[in-house]
Structure 1
């Protein structure tokens, strides 16, 4: 079975779209997902399934709407896709080190999108890039680097408005999800 990671957009943020993780795990187990676990309250769900991405996304979105009455967009990546995201940071060690010194809080994020943005969408986004706010796109994943803060960032706002369903996670969360997925895969006994 494949380890998948479902990333929910906009839950438990500012008191809106509240879902308890224990209830979410129970709801997703009820539709046949196996070994369901969650990480923090922002809608990171790891599970095992052999279904394809589109079918899983549809079933999870429907179950969340049925059980919780919320219309939430779900982005799915396999454990392998998440490992590739973590291994493919496009920014140099020098850029990351400089951002780590100057940023107020987290400085590296990945916006995971349902589909890859068009060249035109990326060109529009490029017009909001500055020497303090950088991005690079690899397929369906948009890497964002902030030398100051993501708060009040024009680039971050425009990235959210690309016209592609997406959800953003910080670099620490990306790496933790990889670690949890690795643990799930290593705990699988051979058939």
Structure 2
């Protein structure tokens, strides 16, 4: 059995994107996943299964479409992958609230570095590591053109979490396993 963290993109950002976290846990159980729980209302679902990550992404996406009538992109990482992501943090001295990691649903397309460079400001250094893109928003995300159109800029659907959120999901996961 593998423990996964499923990151849902764009949920609970408005009434038309409302996803109940208790209902999400029920949906996960109905799909046969074990030990399902959520962290925050932003679509961080932890679950255990013997299925492949691609199957979990596909099944959750389908279940969310059936339940809510909306397409919700889901990207999944194992706990070990998340630990490796955190170990690769290119901004270790920055505030955890300023650093984000974007989890891409697939490999970044060719030219992603050029597209990021065309939009990111000097206050938004970034780094591409496999299926993740790190950004340190030195001036915040509220007025950032990069943050506003991130998936369009990178050319593949992505869901972004602050470094602090990823750290807390893993800490809770470790505490529950301990």
Taking structure 2 as the reference length, the TM-score comes to 0.92
Q: Is the 8 A contact 2:107 2:130 kept in 1?
A: yes
Instruction: Give unmatched runs, 5+ long, in structure 2.
Output: none
Match of 2:155 among 149, 163, 171: 163
Instruction: Give unmatched runs, 5+ long, in structure 1.
Output: 187-191
Q: Is the 8 A contact 2:11 2:18 kept in 1?
A: yes
Q: Aligned residue for 1:128?
A: 119
* Cα distance change on mapping 1:158 and 1:11 into 2, 3 Å: closer
Answering whether residue 51 of structure 2 is matched by residue 47 of structure 1, we say no
How far apart in 2 are the matches of 1:21 and 1:179?
19
Cα deviation code 1:90-127 (max 9, x no counterpart): 1252xx2xxx4xxxx93110110011213412212112
Q: Aligned residue for 2:3?
A: 3
Bigger Rg over Cα:
1
Counterpart secondary structure, 1:133 = coil
How far apart in 2 are the matches of 1:86 and 1:12?
25
Q: Aligned residue for 2:37?
A: 37
Cα deviation code 1:11-57 (max 9, x no counterpart): 11133311111111111101100010001111100010111111111
Q: Aligned residue for 1:175?
A: 167
Q: Aligned residue for 2:140?
A: 149
Q: Is the 8 A contact 1:110 1:168 kept in 2?
A: yes
Aligned residues: 177
What is the aligned-residue RMSD (CA, Å)? 1.7
Taking structure 1 as the reference length, the TM-score comes to 0.86
Q: Is the 8 A contact 1:108 1:146 kept in 2?
A: yes
Q: Aligned residue for 2:58?
A: 58
Answering whether residue 24 of structure 2 is matched by residue 12 of structure 1, we say no
How far apart in 2 are the matches of 1:81 and 1:58?
19
Shift of 1:183: 2.9
